[in-house]
Structure 1
């Protein structure tokens, strides 16, 4: 077994499985997808760290256990259409693409798009569609989505995103506030949205996902 293959195995056995990740599709994907392909060369020795890895301004990989639990919370079935927002490295989309072929990764700019496409090609993954646009606006071109995975922290879920969910669609992400991060799932029902908190986790706040501040009136 090569060094990176051993690191992947140790990540799954030492970080992911002990965190109540029971979906074997996720652990199989994390055992297969080379995480080091999604970080710059100077950061590759830290690719399997158990913490969130900041690889550039506004770009990061969530801690492996937190990301695995977030994907598990989305309960993605084979064939469902999934939008992945945030992180801006492509790793989460690469994992999800291992068990459903309809994955769209939304990135903020052309530089991130270019680097993510290169990483996906290096990892041998060809079924992720990478698009560019404001993260908080989602991607209406491929909507509706059965699942939206926000890989990062936010103070408020933009209405534009929840509006892009298909019937019974799920949105998962990490709400941050007052120093605490809480992962939750928002599920679309016939008449409204049902929210369920799942676990505590830390995540960098994504630009454009800040809560609107009230205006002062003099």
Structure 2
């Protein structure tokens, strides 16, 4: 996957120019071309959601560390998921492992009613502050693999991190015909953006592009030993 680190270091006449450069140099060349997706990414100030001291690096095509092993997905990784999710206004969306809330804000900009689940209290506090202006967005402090069953069923579940499997608890919270988008770590160690649609109570995640994301511990398959 090609990176565009020059986005962070080039001089810009406007504070909005790095966002435009992210969209034009990172997202569009890799297939994230829906005008609604572009508008949502342009509307949200990514620099507000990164760790203190890293605002100048917010638009680099790389994940941004948030501490305690957590990260903000790289713009392209998230862009691929959002583009494939095909969010419709009025849909109910669940963001799992929402971190500081950047992806939740993107989905809210697309018109979804968003429930954002995060387990880290410090990240919950930061997301609560950053997302306070969104009327149709709530933040739930809970284990990511537990989801938020009180708001189910959801039309869309977006998992902001790498997974090796999709827990039954999340499948149960997805509406029939609903979509899941996530970055799946295969047995070869390569991360791939994937989408699944719930049919007859089952979800099969189908990869559509390579994408990087740190593996979320609750979504790691249990190791089995053979003797």
Structure 1-normalised TM-score? 0.92
CA 204–99 in structure 1, closer or farther in 2 if over 3 Å, else same: same
Does structure 1 residue 6 correspond to structure 2 residue 23? no
Per the alignment, residue 100 of structure 1 pairs with 111
CA 140–46 in structure 1, closer or farther in 2 if over 3 Å, else same: same
SS in 1 for 2:53: helix
Does structure 1 residue 31 correspond to structure 2 residue 12? no
Aligned pairs for 1:139-154 within 5 A: 139-154=148-163
Note the residue ranges of structure 1 that are not aligned, 5 or more in a row: none
Contact 1:60 1:89 in 2 (8 A): no
Q: Give 1:87 deviation, angstroms.
A: 4.7
SS in 1 for 2:15: helix
Contact 2:101 2:116 in 1 (8 A): yes
Aligned pairs for 1:108-123 within 5 A: 108-121=119-132
Contact 1:174 1:183 in 2 (8 A): yes
Deviations, residues 182-206 of structure 1 (Å, cap 9, x unaligned):
1111111135334422111111001
Contact 1:62 1:87 in 2 (8 A): no
175-184 or 75-84, which deviates more: 175-184
Find the aligned partners of 1:51 and 1:195 in 2 and give their Cα distance.
Answer: 24
Match of 2:71 among 60, 71, 83: 60
Which stretches of structure 1, 4 residues or more, deviate above 4 A after TM superposition? none
Find the aligned partners of 1:166 and 1:191 in 2 and give their Cα distance.
Answer: 9
Contact 2:62 2:75 in 1 (8 A): yes
Contact 2:108 2:137 in 1 (8 A): yes
Contact 1:169 1:188 in 2 (8 A): yes
SS in 2 for 1:130: strand
Match of 1:165 among 156, 161, 174: 174
Q: How many residues align?
A: 215
Match of 1:205 among 212, 215, 223: 215
Does structure 1 residue 182 correspond to structure 2 residue 196? no
Contact 2:98 2:116 in 1 (8 A): no
Aligned pairs for 1:121-132 within 5 A: 121=132, 124-132=133-141
Structure 2-normalised TM-score? 0.88
Contact 2:98 2:117 in 1 (8 A): no
Note the residue ranges of structure 2 that are not aligned, 5 or more in a row: 1-11
